[in-house]
Amino acid sequence: MSTADGPCVFERWQYPHLRSRVLESKFQLLMLRSLEHAGPALEKIVAGGLRRVQSGQGPIVAWPLVCGTAVAQRTRALDFADGVLQVEVPDTGWRNELRTLASPYLAVMNRYVSVPVRRIEFVVSGSVQKAIPTQDKT
């Protein structure tokens, strides 16, 4: 397509960087569609693996998958007992924010683990009581 003044400004050969971006976007869209179809199968594989984890460890192992990479990098699942998953967070701001997300986290968590999680308790780093081993004085 040309005009009297020369080639049309929208011809692809004038803007090769736009062509590569368009192709990259189309590829990403195709990959996303492929992953959407694979989603249910992958979810079954993940759930099956988590159900085979040692009893009581499923929620601890599942935490990074449930909360996502960004949250998992700043938090750590500490313990799971009596239906309560204890998660260490860096500060009170994180604790308050994650408390608002506890309900969706529980819903996702309970899709994957064999022992149901009733509650997630977020504890600030440093406030967790750590057992100090005692030495035998004999």
Q: Calculate the CA 56 to chain-centre distance.
A: 20
pLDDT reading at 36 higher than 50: yes
pLDDT reading at 95 higher than 90: yes
Q: Which two tokens stand for residue 4?
A: 């009297």
pLDDT reading at 15 higher than 60: no
Residue 34 confidence (pLDDT): 52
pLDDT reading at 124 higher than 90: yes
pLDDT reading at 106 higher than 60: yes
Q: Provide, for the chain, the percentages of residues in helix, strand and coil under a 3-state DSSP scheme, each rounded to the nearest 5.
A: 55, 15, 30
Q: In what order do the strands lie in the sheet with 76-81?
A: 76-81, 84-89, 119-124
